[in-house]
Structure formats: structure tokens, C-alpha cells
Amino acid sequence: RKEVEQDPGPFNVPEGATVAFNCTYSNSASQSFFWYRQDCRKEPKLLMSVYSSGNEDGRFTAQLNRASQYISLLIRDSKLSDSATYLCAVTRSYGGATNKLIFGTGTLLAVQP
């Protein structure tokens, strides 16, 4: 089983739709959680961190469920420009005090006009 798992998609949604992505992680000791956005053939860019209390940034809402070991990303009122791959990432300790980012495979979102 992969340490971080996501539904690869693609998610094809019309403009204005609400879409939700889930990501599960297997290491209960994971400490920090993030969503990254990656455009085709580009580097990932941080979209938002995910906190236990949930956090919102405009049309984007992230949630963390530690008991069930999953994080979610909700995008409201989808725009064409939201089309991208969304990667979740979690930290785990790697041979010492330093934590490392472990990425899921990403979920492809295609917003249709």
C-alpha cells in the first residue's frame, strides 16, 4: 500500500461546479499536511496547508481527519483556470529529526466550459 493515496481521476467537471478530492495516508505519525497544485509540465506549487480545524482560502477549503487518516480539498465555483493536477503531501520523519514531504500521485482536474 502506498503511503499517500489519491484517486488519479481525471475529474471532468463543468464550470461553476463544486468538486472534492480526498487523500488518505497510512502513517499515523504524519505531522503536517498540504495540497499542491501542478500545471502540466511544471513544478508543484503550494496551494494550502491543511489544519485540524480546517481552513479556507477563497473558493478552496481543506480539511483534515486524523482519526480516519485522510485530508480533503473542496473547490467551489470551479474555473477553467483550476484545471491542473492536485497533489496531496504529508510529512514523516526520515532517519532523524528532519521531516520529509511524501507526495500522493495527484488527481487530475479538468474544468469544462
Rule CB under 8 A: which residues touch another protein?
A: 4, 6, 8, 32, 34, 41-46, 49, 87, 89, 91, 94-95, 98-106
- Minimum distance from residue 57 beta carbon to another protein (Å): 12
d(CA 94, CA 111): 37
Nearer to another protein, 36 or 78 (CB): 36
Q: Which is nearer to another protein, 8 or 16 (CB)?
A: 8
Number of Cβ within a 10 Å radius of residue 35: 22
- Residue 13 belongs to what H/E stretch? strand 11-14
Smallest separation (angstroms) from another protein to the CB of 51 = 10
Smallest separation, CB 86 to another protein (Å)? 11
Distance CA 57, CA 113 (A): 23
CA distance 95 to 99: 9
Closer Cβ to another protein, 36 or 111, answer by number: 36
Q: What angle do CA 21, 22, 23 make, to 5 degrees?
A: 130
- Residue 27 or 105: the one with the smaller Cβ distance to another protein is 105
